[in-house]
């Protein structure tokens, strides 16, 4: 299995007036083809920043400071003024023109809020036409609309609704439209940022199923960013738990839920209600995530960790392989 | 230990100050330098003026006002340290003690200077006011700056605007005592004499010293502006609150009236009203106020409509709040910031409109010391004898004053209207 | 007799029509947010009201505390109908019936310190002197874990975290010692690792003040953890009511079945299923007969014709479905 995406020692820094905060602090990950990687964590942990760094759209005042994001292309990608050849490309070092060619065509990104991600003045069809023509300028409008309608159909929306405007769709429908826009150019990698967070549970289940079907059909590789561990349990092959810009634990989904290793993962799982276990005693994590502009030395989780040792307060634990497929950044496991 | 800290805090902040100074960027040093240099220049100008003042006690007046300002600064800093930064009910007491003391000092000094009986009251009031204004300026830079610095360019604009406004206010307040000639004294120099060392800004058509008239001429405009803003506040805001909160027929009628007023071109309406009401500061102010009330109404209305739907207003209702409670404690405080922004723009526009009304002849009498008056006179003489100074300097002052208010309004608008940050 | 009883309550919101439209069509259209709902909540119970957006659960909650008045029906509080109360009587009742909103940030006046916001609850009801209110507020701040109290009293909402703000919301709701609290999605906008803290706080407050809760949420997993009984709403009507275990282990109404199957369980071995197709229709023009029939996998001839009533099916549960009547 080749790796579609390799992230090496990525650092993304936000320069705020109060100081510099690292949204992503030396994260390294590998993503295999046709797999779904889940990025789990609470609000502000850096998972969204990581997702946006992959398409090099980190919002101001953030910037990729250093590190590599290596994407493995299996076809040539033309851009305005040249061609990106097959093989490995390092995203932070690409120019804006090259990135524009990659976005949508190779990497699709679905933003968090479907309510505001669509232009209310423009029909859904126009969104599709614009997206398609941006990457395939020779495609005629009718053909683009045709492709758009087919995509809507495969997502359970009537084809003729391609003419409608965003406000005529419900939340769930809009999210489907967004998923469709992301997939219409048949990208290799799909990054979905909280795709079902604002939706009700029934629609959520429908969309997750549709995304799974489309993943099969289009041979997609997915990165699913969400704080909802239930959703990740259902859809991800492996999960990276992110805390304060660092990966605390990276494991296969089964391994993570069955035997979580990092104290933060354990605490998270203990605090999530499980409808099949009504007598589960829910716990919470005392304290609060630290101010990223003034980090304590050592392991960033140590102030809240019940197992904190002396070494935790001074040395940052590296991410090391523990067994079969689990990686943990915790002194409890050596390192 | 605590006493120690207080004293150190006020007078000997050098240690921590040195630290923070080291971290400052070049941009900061440039700004700081500009402020210090301007302040020094202004101070020199002020003192040289005061030295040749008509009243004879110019230097003393300036000195007293400076002393007053220093005391104010001291007291505020002291109060802040004692309170650890919180506003409590003890504050007013701390304020009034030194205020009263200085007021007494004024009285003593003026009596000592053997001023005429009817003058010492005016002296006391004006110098006290001038001192307070100067104190506010100083506070702006010591207390206000840290608050506004974080807001970037908006903060800078606000400080610049407020500085301009308060400097002119100070100048107006202390004007009686530092002007080289009494502003209305005619024939102190030649008629329409060009600027010269004796009359740095030249003279008017009646032989009055233009410099003195420029220093003292802001009073009328500021009064007109202040009264009109006060009227607008007192009428526009409550009406806006009530009408938009209650909604229904009342809202529709009031909106209709306000929109109709708003549709009129401001200056034309002001002229019409001023013509109806006649001359006088109050009448001018009322005419301008009527033109402006719709602006307040609209701003307040849009804010109320937004805030009214927010959960914390509903939460207050669930707790048992009456309509009055909700309006006064939950909606008004959240509506005021926007009203304050309108207020600044209102001030600016009121000044310009007042000048306009005077220009059209609906102002006050010919003998009043007023920039608008000089502007009008200057316009008449500009082409005839090329006496450019009569129109330019008062005009410049009007522009600066209006600019000050506008900058304040712009800056405050950006600061107070919360944009999604971080 | 329950503490709170809804008897055939309806809440219809009229829709604003354009000027021309209102000339040409005489009939008004309504959003039938709550359409003939009856239930009762026993004293000391936590009743969960679950449903998707558009089900009418929030409107029901707001009716319970008379934030809005019902279009029809009775709302009995301790046997007395509060549906038509106004003015002073209504304000007095407010002491006993409280409501917490979903978003802790917009539930607090951004220009009021949290101490004042909480003390205001007493002030608005005219209880206690200024000092008494301050003391009581400090007590309750301590109680909800916001200490040291002297630091927190003067803080403004934007200086607190989401979890802390939600605690302030609960402090404010309980300082008047109410009997009944409706909480609308109390932990939806709180971080995952803090949810349990707020839930535990709610239960502690319940024990201490002898509260009764109506817990409105679309998060079924959380509802199972805290509620005694669960009522499922769909498009303005209650379709099933049962105790917390039965409703999850053995749901009867096809909608409840679909809901439970869709819950994403944090356990990779238990897969959720998207059993239900389509989406909840608009409450302006609900389907005829049983509102769920267009999506129901078990619909038969009677369903589009006749609307099923909520009937008792034994074991302390009620279902509104022709399959069971």
Per-residue pLDDT of chain B (422 residues; tens, 9 = 90+): 344 444 444 444 444 555 556 666 677 778 778 878 888 888 888 888 777 777 667 777 787 778 778 877 777 777 666 655 454 545 555 666 667 677 667 666 666 666 666 677 777 778 778 888 888 888 888 777 776 666 667 788 888 888 889 989 988 888 887 888 877 777 777 777 777 777 888 888 787 888 888 888 888 889 889 999 999 999 999 999 999 988 888 899 999 999 998 898 888 888 888 888 887 888 888 888 998 899 899 999 998 998 888 889 989 988 888 888 888 888 888 888 888 888 888 898 888 888 888 888 887 776 778 888 888 888 877 776 777 888 888 888 899 999 999 998 888 888 776 554 43
- C87 with C197, same domain: the answer is yes
- DSSP state letters, C149-179: HHHHHT--GGGS-HHHHHHHHHHHHHTT--S
Output phi, psi for A104, to 5 deg: 95, -45
In a domain, C301, yes or no: no
Cβ-defined contact of C193 to A234 (cutoff 8 Å): no
Closest CA of chain C from B312, distance in Å: 4
Token pair listed for C190: 């709180």
- C81 with C195, same domain: the answer is yes
The answer to whether the CB of C75 falls within 8 A of the CB of C82 is yes
CATH of the domain at C35: 3.40.50.300
Cβ-defined contact of C101 to B315 (cutoff 8 Å): yes
Mention every residue, 6+ apart, whose C-beta is less than 8 A from residue B385.
Answer: B192
The answer to whether the CB of A36 falls within 8 A of the CB of A235 is yes
- C197 with C234, same domain: the answer is yes
Domains located in chain A, CATH noted: 3-106+187-283 (3.40.50.300)
Residue C225 at interface with chain A, using a CB cutoff of 8 Å: yes
Identify the residue among A36, A45, A170, A201 best suited for mutation to test binding to C, counting C beta carbons within 10 A and taking the highest: A201
Strands A326-328 and C4-14: unpaired
In a domain, C154, yes or no: yes
> pTM of the prediction?
0.82
B314: which chain C residues are within 8 Å (Cβ-Cβ)?
A: 67, 99, 101
Closest CA of chain A from C244, distance in Å: 9
- Residues of B in CB contact (< 8 Å) with C are 86, 310-312, 314-322, 325, 329-330, 333-334
Cβ-defined contact of C191 to A173 (cutoff 8 Å): no
In a domain, C290, yes or no: no
- C120 with C240, same domain: the answer is no
Beta strands in B168-274 (DSSP E): none
Nearest CA in chain C to A288: C161
C261: which chain A residues are within 8 Å (Cβ-Cβ)?
A: 205
C53: which chain A residues are within 8 Å (Cβ-Cβ)?
A: 171, 200
In a domain, C325, yes or no: no
Token pair listed for A273: 């209600």
Residue A233 at interface with chain C, using a CB cutoff of 8 Å: yes
Beta strands in B45-101 (DSSP E): none
Identify the residue among B307, B311, B335 best suited for mutation to test binding to C, counting C beta carbons within 10 A and taking the highest: B311
Cβ-defined contact of C176 to B319 (cutoff 8 Å): yes
**For the domain bounded by B218-368, which CATH number is listed?**
1.10.3720.10
Task: From C124, C159, C177, give the residue that closes a domain.
Answer: C177
Cβ-defined contact of C67 to B318 (cutoff 8 Å): yes
Domain span at residue C130?
109-177
- C141 with C225, same domain: the answer is no
C65: which chain B residues are within 8 Å (Cβ-Cβ)?
A: 318
Task: From C177, C211, C237, give the residue that closes a domain.
Answer: C177
- C162 with C190, same domain: the answer is no
Task: From C129, C162, C177, give the residue that closes a domain.
Answer: C177
Establish whether this prediction's ipTM goes over 0.95: no
- C36 with C170, same domain: the answer is no
Residue C222 at interface with chain A, using a CB cutoff of 8 Å: yes
Chains touching C (3+ CB pairs < 8 Å): A, B
- C15 with C75, same domain: the answer is yes
In this model, does residue C17 exceed pLDDT 90?
Answer: no
Domains held by chain C: number? 2
For A234, the closest of C271, C276, C277 (CB atoms) is: C271
Cis peptide before C148 (omega within 30 of 0): yes
In a domain, C314, yes or no: no
- C239 with C199, same domain: the answer is yes
- C35 with C89, same domain: the answer is yes
In a domain, C192, yes or no: yes
Token pair listed for C66: 């008379």
CA-closest candidate to residue C63, choices C81, C88, C79, C43: C81
Nearest CA in chain C to A238: C268
- C144 with C193, same domain: the answer is no
- Look at residue C269 and give its three-state secondary structure: coil
Cβ-defined contact of A273 to C259 (cutoff 8 Å): no
For B311, the closest of C91, C107, C121 (CB atoms) is: C107
In a domain, C298, yes or no: no
- C185 with C273, same domain: the answer is yes
Give domain limits for chain B: 2-182, 218-368
Identify the residue among B319, B337, B419 best suited for mutation to test binding to C, counting C beta carbons within 10 A and taking the highest: B319
pLDDT of residue B24: 63
Query: Each residue of C36-63: pLDDT tens digit?
Result: 999 999 999 999 999 988 889 999 999 9
Size of interface A-C (CB pairs under 8 A): 128
């Amino acid at each position: 299995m080749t790796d579609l995406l390799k992230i090496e020692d990525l650092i993304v820094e936000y320069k705020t007036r109060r100081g510099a905060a690292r949204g992503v602090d030396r994260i390294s990950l590998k993503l295999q083809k046709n797999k779904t990687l889940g990025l789990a964590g609470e609000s502000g942990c850096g998972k969204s920043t990581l997702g946006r760094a992959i398409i090099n759209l980190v919002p101001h005042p953030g910037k990729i400071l250093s590190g590599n994001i290596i994407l493995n292309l299996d076809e040539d990608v033309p851009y305005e003024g040249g061609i990106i050849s097959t093989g490995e490309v390092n995203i932070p070092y690409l120019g804006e023109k090259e990135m524009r060619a990659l976005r949508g065509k190779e990497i699709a990104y679905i933003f968090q809020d479907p309510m505001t991600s669509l232009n209310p003045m423009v029909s859904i069809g126009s969104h599709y036409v614009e997206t398609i023509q941006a990457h395939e300028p020779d495609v005629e409008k009718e053909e683009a609309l045709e492709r758009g309608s087919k995509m809507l159909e495969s997502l359970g929306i009537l084809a003729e609704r391609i003419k409608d405007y965003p406000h005529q769709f419900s939340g769930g429908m809009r999210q489907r439209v967004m998923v469709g826009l992301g997939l219409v150019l048949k990208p290799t990698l799909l990054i979905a940022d909280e795709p079902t967070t604002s939706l009700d549970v029934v629609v959520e289940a429908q969309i997750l199923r549709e995304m799974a079907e489309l993943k099969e059909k289009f041979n997609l590789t997915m990165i699913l960013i969400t704080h909802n561990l239930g959703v990740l349990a259902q859809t991800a092959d492996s999960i990276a738990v992110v805390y304060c810009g660092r990966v605390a634990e990276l494991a296969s989904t089964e391994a993570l839920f069955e035997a979580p290793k990092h104290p933060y993962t354990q605490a998270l799982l203990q605090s999530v209600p499980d409808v099949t276990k009504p007598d589960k005693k829910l716990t919470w994590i005392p304290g609060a995530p630290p101010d990223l502009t003034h980090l304590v030395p050592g392991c960033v989780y140590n102030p809240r960790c019940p197992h904190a040792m002396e070494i935790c307060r001074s040395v940052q634990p590296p991410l090391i392989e523990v067994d079969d497929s689990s990686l943990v950044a915790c002194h409890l496991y050596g390192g | 230990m605590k006493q120690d800290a207080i004293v150190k805090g006020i007078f000997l902040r050098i240690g921590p100050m040195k630290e923070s100074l080291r971290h400052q960027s070049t941009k900061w040093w440039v700004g700081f330098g500009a402020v210090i240099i301007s302040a020094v220049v202004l101070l020199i100008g002020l003192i040289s003026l005061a030295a040749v003042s008509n009243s004879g006690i110019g230097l003393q007046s300036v000195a007293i006002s400076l002393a007053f300002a220093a005391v104010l600064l001291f007291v505020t800093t002291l109060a802040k340290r004692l309170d650890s930064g919180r506003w409590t009910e003890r504050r007013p007491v701390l304020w009034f003690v030194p205020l009263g003391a200085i007021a007494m000092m004024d009285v003593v000094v003026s009596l000592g200077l053997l001023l005429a009986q009817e003058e010492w009251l005016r002296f006391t009031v004006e110098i006290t006011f001038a001192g307070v204004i100067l104190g506010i300026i100083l506070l702006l830079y010591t207390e206000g700056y840290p608050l506004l610095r974080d807001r970037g360019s908006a903060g800078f604009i606000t400080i610049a605007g407020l500085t301009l406004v308060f400097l002119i206010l100070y100048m107006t307040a202390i004007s009686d005592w530092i002007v080289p000639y009494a502003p209305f004294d005619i024939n102190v120099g030649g008629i329409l004499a060009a600027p010269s060392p004796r009359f740095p800004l030249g003279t008017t058509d009646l032989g009055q010293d233009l410099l003195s008239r420029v220093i003292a001429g802001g009073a009328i405009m500021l009064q007109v502006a202040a009264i009109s803003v006060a009227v607008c506040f007192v009428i526009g805001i409550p009406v806006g609150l009530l009408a938009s909160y209650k909604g229904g027929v009342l809202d529709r009628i009031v909106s209709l009236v306000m929109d109709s007023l708003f549709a009129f071109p401001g200056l034309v309406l002001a002229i019409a009203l001023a013509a109806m009401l006649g001359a006088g500061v109050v009448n001018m102010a009322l005419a301008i106020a009527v033109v402006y009330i719709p602006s307040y109404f609209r701003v307040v209305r849009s804010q109320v409509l937004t805030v009214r739907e927010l959960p914390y207003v509903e939460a207050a209702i669930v707790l048992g709040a009456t309509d009055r409670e909700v309006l006064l404690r939950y909606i008004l405080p959240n509506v005021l910031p926007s009203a304050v922004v309108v207020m600044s723009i209102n001030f600016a526009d009121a000044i310009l409109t007042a000048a306009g009304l005077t220009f059209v002849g609906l102002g006050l009498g010919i003998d009043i010391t007023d920039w608008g008056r000089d502007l009008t006179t200057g316009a008449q003489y500009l082409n005839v004898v090329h006496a450019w100074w009569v129109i330019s300097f008062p005009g410049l002052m009007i522009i600066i004053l209006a600019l000050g208010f506008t900058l304040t309004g712009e800056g405050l608008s950006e600061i107070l209207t919360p944009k999604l940050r971080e | 007799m329950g503490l709170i009883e809804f008897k055939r309550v309806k809440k219809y919101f009229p829709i604003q029509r354009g000027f021309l439209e209102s000339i040409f069509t005489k009939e008004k259209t309504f959003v039938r947010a709550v359409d003939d709902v009856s239930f009762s909540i026993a004293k000391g119970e936590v009743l969960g009201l679950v449903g998707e957006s558009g089900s009418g659960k929030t409107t029901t909650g707001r009716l319970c505390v008379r934030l809005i008045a019902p279009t029809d029906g009775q709302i009995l509080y301790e046997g007395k109908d509060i549906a038509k109360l106004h003015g002073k009587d209504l304000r007095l009742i407010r002491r006993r019936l409280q409501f917490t909103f979903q978003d802790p940030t917009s539930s607090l006046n951004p220009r009021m310190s949290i101490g004042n916001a909480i003390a205001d609850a007493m002030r608005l009801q005219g209880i206690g002197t200024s000092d008494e209110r301050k003391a009581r507020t400090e007590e309750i701040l301590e109680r909800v874990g916001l200490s040291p109290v002297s630091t927190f009293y003067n803080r403004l909402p934007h200086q607190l975290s989401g979890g802390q703000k939600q605690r302030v919301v609960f402090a404010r709701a309980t300082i008047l010692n109410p009997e009944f609290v409706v909480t609308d999605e109390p932990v939806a906008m709180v971080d995952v690792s803090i949810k349990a803290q707020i839930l535990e706080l709610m239960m502690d407050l319940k024990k201490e003040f002898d509260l009764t809760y109506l817990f409105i949420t679309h998060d079924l997993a959380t509802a199972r953890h805290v509620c005694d009984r669960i009522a499922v709403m769909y498009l303005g009507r209650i379709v099933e009511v049962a105790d917390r275990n039965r409703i999850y282990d053995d749901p009867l109404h096809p909608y409840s079945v679909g809901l439970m199957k869709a819950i994403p369980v944090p356990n990779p071995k238990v897969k959720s299923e998207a059993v239900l197709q389509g989406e909840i229709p608009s409450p302006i023009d609900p389907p005829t007969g049983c509102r769920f029939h267009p999506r129901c996998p078990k619909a038969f001839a009677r369903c589009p014709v006749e609307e099923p009533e909520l009937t008792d099916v034994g074991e302390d549960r009620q279902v509104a479905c022709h399959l069971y009547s």
